[in-house]
Structure 1
Amino acid sequence: MTGPLTPMLTALLGRLPIGWLQLVHNKGRLAAALSGVAFANVLIFMQLGFLGALVESIRLPYTVLNGDILVSASDANTLFDGSPLPRNRLYQALGVEGVASATGFYYGRIDWKQPDGTIRTMDLFGVDPTGAPFRDPLLAAQVESLALPDTALMDSLTRNVPAGLYAGIAAGEPYRFETRGRELTVTGTFEIGGGFSADGYLVVSDQTFLRLFPARLPGAPNYVLVRLAPGAERGAVLAGLRAALPASDSAVWTLDEAAARDQRFQTTQKPVGVVFGFGVVIGVLVGVIIVYQVLSTDVADHIREYATFKAMGYPQRFFLGIVFEEAFILALFGFVPGVLVALGLYAAVAAGTGLPIFMPAARPVLVFLGTLVMCALSGAIATRRLARANPAELF
């Protein structure tokens, strides 16, 4: 009736697995409970997946930059929202000991209207084609072609682009489109991937950027990308740059620090990051409520049996052991379908949106441990009535 798990649990627990037997006695209730735990797990996994995709999409553009240190405006919280820097900061940076080179780049955002009328939002790098601004091999090999006016490179992971567009570009057929009153010619591709604020990336020369944004001043890039001389100590160069550049309009960070600050700001200050964080909390609360309802109902159904045990002198930890046994079983058997469904949803979301959503190895472990805590907490709450009751009052 109860399958091979009963003797296995008996050997493991050193007693009859009362919790397991009570759960399988009512298979309908067990199925509903496992479905509830699996649903809570899927909800938590999806919120963590979206939060992870947000964090990863923020990091990706920093990974293609060929530099060790990034100088930004002091008010810059993300790549997109920083004020322009005076170009003089670039020359001041070059005067710091240990700096091998410094190049400025511009950052903006444009709308790309496709033939079907849909709009794609593209984040735009404006770079000096001779300044070796990218470490990504695919970008670095093509950046010199941007010296031609109104030439661009396009992110091949941009969401929802016309079918065959990238294949045509790879075959030597440039793609042309109009934006901000100018026609851009896309001659090559690279890979970064879209995020939550933009569908993908474009790279143009600094001169093309300024033609697209005529209100921007040529002497005011958004960022200065600094590369260290061989053998230079990064900490010393950071200190030198911070001493040389006025803190009133400039901030100096390593690329990793800049990416981490961007991630922290967008996950704690921007609505989308806060919403995903609250989603995780809601998933946990849903799981606690579902498991509590199941376990409290089970305790109520067997209250007379528990009263008999209590009258015989069994301590409260015995009853907690039974309920925690049920909680562990619900956590384990509810987690497995939850993680499998989440993996399928991750793949579907990644294919449909292009977001970098995936399952890190540590996430299932953390969610499972959280599920155990969630179920144990529910079990502890469910046994409160039994702990306070007089055995004589339970009959």
Structure 2
Amino acid sequence: MKIPLAWLQLTREKMRLLVALAGIGFADILMFMQLGFRDALFDSSVRVHSNLDGDIFLVSPQSTTLTAMKSFPQRRLYQTLAFEGVESVKPVYLDFALWKNPVDRSTRGIFVLAFNPDDSVFNLPGVVDNINQIKLTDKVLFDAASRDEFGPVAEKFNQGESVTTEVGGRRVEVRGLFEMGASFGANGNILTSDLNFLRMFPNRKKGIIDVGIVKLKPAANVEAVLKQMKTYLPADVRYFSKQEFMAWEKDYWQTSTTIGFIFSLGTAMGFIVGIVIVYQILYTDVSDHLAEYATLKAMGYKDIYFLIVVFQEALILAILGYLPGCAVAIGLYNLTKNATSLPMIMTLARATTVLILTMVMCSVSGAIAVRKLSAADPADIF
């Protein structure tokens, strides 16, 4: 059997090995958190989009993101009924209003989503079960997954207490709960009817909407109908499929804000930090055993043999450092999810991505560290 030279050299100095694993684990945690925040940003930004019951979506070309929409006339939405395959249309109103905490009376901006209760707009269980409640004047449904600063609304409601507060200076009552969750654009959400929305926002006019939803018949081809709308309807409104609507939202956060760049840069910095840490460990190991390596070199071992040994050490460090880093990251994900209501969960794709980055990181460090050994002359060493 071949002597496991790489493993023996790593385990000879156990304290050095532990320091190396701690450094790699730290670099992995940094990459996990940056990628986790980035993906949570994208996932949370399309929570509303993914729960809308529709096939084609109309928005103003001046709109940049769902939390910064520009309105357009509802008649453009009704014009889509002329296309073959269209089953129904549903207007949606969106805006921010000041929510007054029912306990401490502090105010916080909350995202208000409104629609005709007779339309099937959201396919969330809490919305479907309580849809009749928002038909009443000044009644709303509260997102139980909103941030804590909006008050213990869900707890009080579940205990049977009446929850009455103010939204936009208008007195409203919470008559049901649903769960959608906060995002980087909105810390909390409420749903109500289009008539209640116009009462909360007296400056808004009926028929001037923010999103138009088109529901197609089961046999209709989404791409074909979408192409016809883009061809025959005016360009004063943008037309999206559901996937395009979600991609439009994600693209805004990725390219039009610094957030996507910051998290990508943080991942790159974690990668570079890992390279430096592993390089220092491997370089020190090679330097400490330079005489032994020179003896093997004088015996006829080629440089490729030493390169393989160092790469083996690098991969061992990568795997051993990755495991605790991944475990700690999962714990931090749960902590962050509970504290921020963001969808921070460990996915197989992200775990695989960080593992590959870790292996590349350690391999690059090994390739740099082995250069000292390749240039060494046994005659000079002895």
Which band: TM-score by shorter chain? over 0.9
For residues 1-395 of structure 1, the aligned pairs below 5 Å read 14-114=1-101, 115-116=103-104, 118-160=106-148, 165-170=153-158, 172-247=160-235, 249-395=236-382
Higher mean Cα deviation, 128-137 or 341-350?
128-137
Change (3 A) 1:162 1:221: closer
CA shift digits 1:11-57 (9 cap, x unpaired)? xxx52122211111111111110100111111111111111211211
How far off is 1:301 after superposition? Answer: 1.3
Report the Cα distance in structure 2 between the residues aligned to 1:381 and 1:135, rounded to whole angstroms.
Answer: 55
Higher mean Cα deviation, 64-73 or 265-274?
265-274
Amino acid at match of 2:193: S
Asked whether the 8 Å contact 2:145–2:188 carries over to 1, the reply is yes
Give 3-state SS (helix, strand or coil) of 2:72's partner: coil
Change (3 A) 1:111 1:394: farther
Report the Cα distance in structure 2 between the residues aligned to 1:213 and 1:57, rounded to whole angstroms.
Answer: 26
Give 3-state SS (helix, strand or coil) of 2:218's partner: coil
Change (3 A) 1:302 1:358: same
Asked whether the 8 Å contact 1:97–1:240 carries over to 2, the reply is no
Asked whether the 8 Å contact 1:173–1:187 carries over to 2, the reply is no
Number of residue-to-residue matches in the alignment: 381
Give unmatched runs, 5+ long, in structure 1.
1-13
Q: Give structure 1 regions of 4+ aligned residues with deviation exceeding 6 angstroms.
A: none
Higher mean Cα deviation, 165-174 or 368-377?
165-174
Asked whether the 8 Å contact 1:308–1:391 carries over to 2, the reply is yes
Asked whether the 8 Å contact 1:156–1:191 carries over to 2, the reply is yes
Give unmatched runs, 5+ long, in structure 2.
none
How far off is 1:162 after superposition? Answer: 6.9
Amino acid at match of 1:121: G
CA shift digits 1:70-123 (9 cap, x unpaired)? 111123332122311111211211122211111111111223232335544322
Report the Cα distance in structure 2 between the residues aligned to 1:100 and 1:252, rounded to whole angstroms.
Answer: 16
Give 3-state SS (helix, strand or coil) of 1:149's partner: coil
TM-score computed with the length of structure 1 as normaliser: 0.91
How far off is 1:266 after superposition? Answer: 0.8
Report the Cα distance in structure 2 between the residues aligned to 1:144 and 1:65, rounded to whole angstroms.
Answer: 18
Higher mean Cα deviation, 228-237 or 39-48?
228-237
Give 3-state SS (helix, strand or coil) of 1:308's partner: helix
Report the Cα distance in structure 1 between the residues aligned to 2:232 and 2:210, rounded to whole angstroms.
Answer: 18
How far off is 1:164 after superposition? Answer: 5.3
